[in-house]
Amino acid sequence: MPEKVVTITSAAAREQIPVSAEPDLQTDTITIPVKLCNLQPLNSIANQVLSLSADPNVDLRHLAFVMEGDPAFAAEILLLANSSLFGFTSRMSVLRHAVAVLGLDRIKALAVTVAMRAFLGQGSPLVRQCWRHSAACAVIAEEISPIFAFSSDQAYTAALMHDIGRLGLLKSYARDFTPVVEGHYTDQAAILSAERAALHVDHGSAGAWLVNNWAYPQSFADVCAHHHDPLHPKDSVVLRLVKVACRMADALDYLAVPYQEVASYSTVIAQLPPGIRGERFPAEDELRENVKARLAVFELQA
C-alpha cells in the first residue's frame, strides 16, 4: 500500500469554475504522494545556475565562480565540454574558459544534464530506460529547434526535464511505481491511467508539481504537465517542440514505458500542423544515429 498522500488544492483551477457549478475535485486538486513532496531538488549548484541564467545580463565569470563551488560538479561540466559532443580541437582545462566559449544557454544545458544524472544516481535498469528517453528527447528537441525558431539549448534543457515526474516517482516510490513502468499498454492514455491508479497522480502532474516546488521556470512546469496532450494552436513554442520531440523519441524506440500504438517517425511528421509539417525535418536514419552517438557520450561520462 502506498503511504498517505497530500492533497493540494489549486486556487487557479478554482477561479475557473463558474460560481453556480460544483467544484470538480478531479481537476481542482492534485494529490501528491508524501515521499515525492520530500524529494530533494537537483544539485544546489545547478539550481543556482538555473536561477542566474534566467538573467540574460548575468556575468559569466560569476556563473563560473558559482559552479567552481562544487569541484566534482565543475569537473563533470568540463568533462562534457571536452567530449566529442562539441569537437573542439584544443582541450579546455579551466571552467571559466568553457563558460566563455560555450555561452550561457549551453552551460545551463550541461549543468542540468550533470545534475539530472546525479539526481538519478546509479539507478535501476528502469531508471536508465526512462533517462534514455529523456536524453533522447533532449537531443531531438535540440536538433529540430531551428524548425520552431527556438533556442536549441533552451529546447534541450526543457526536453531533458519533461519526464522529471516519472523519474521522481521511480526514485521515491520504486516498489509501487516499478510495476507501472514494467507494464505493457495500448497507448499513452493507458499508461497515465495506470500511474494514477498506483499513486493517485500521473507523471505529468507530479513533474509540474516538482518543478514548481523547486522554483524552476514556469515553462518547465507547463512542459511536464502537458507534453502528452494533443498539439494545440495555443501551445507555447517550447511546449509544442517538446511534444513533437517526445513523440519522435518514442518512434525511434527510446520509450520510457512500452506501449503498442507507437506512431512511426513519418507518421509523427505527417500529423503535425501544416505550417510545421512542411519544414525539412532530419531523415529518420540520420536522427537515429545522432541520438545514439550523443547518448553514448552521456553514458561513457557517467
CA-to-CA separations, 302 to 157, 179, 296, in angstroms, rounded:
18, 26, 10
Strand partners, 32: 6
Confidence of residue 89 (pLDDT cuts 50, 70, 90): low
Query: pLDDT (tens digit, 9 = 90+) per residue, 246-277?
Result: 999 999 999 999 999 999 999 999 999 888 88
C-alpha cell at position 60: 559569466
Note the Cα 193 to chain centre separation in Å.
20
The percent of residues above 70 in pLDDT, for the chain, comes to 87
**Tens digit of each residue's pLDDT (9 = 90 or more) over 180-212:** 999 989 999 999 999 999 999 999 999 999 998
Is there a contact between 102 and 78 (Cβ–Cβ < 8 Å)?
no
Residue 166 and residue 202 in contact, taking contact as beta carbons nearer than 8 Å: no
> What is the rounded CA–CA span in Å between residue 277 and residue 195?
32
Which listed CATH number (3.10.520.10, 1.10.3210.10, 3.40.50.720, 1.10.600.10) goes with 122-301?
1.10.3210.10
- Phi then psi for residue 298, to 5 deg, are -55, -45
- Under a CB-based contact definition with an 8 Å cutoff, are residues 67 and 77 in contact? yes
In the chain, domain spans: 43-120, 122-301
pLDDT digits (tens, 9 = 90+) for 230-241: 999 999 999 999
In the predicted model, what is the mean pLDDT of the chain?
A: 84
Q: What is the pLDDT of residue 129?
A: 92
- pLDDT tens-digit profile of 10-64? 433 333 323 333 333 343 456 788 888 888 888 788 888 877 777 778 888 888 8
Number of Cβ within a 10 Å radius of residue 251: 21
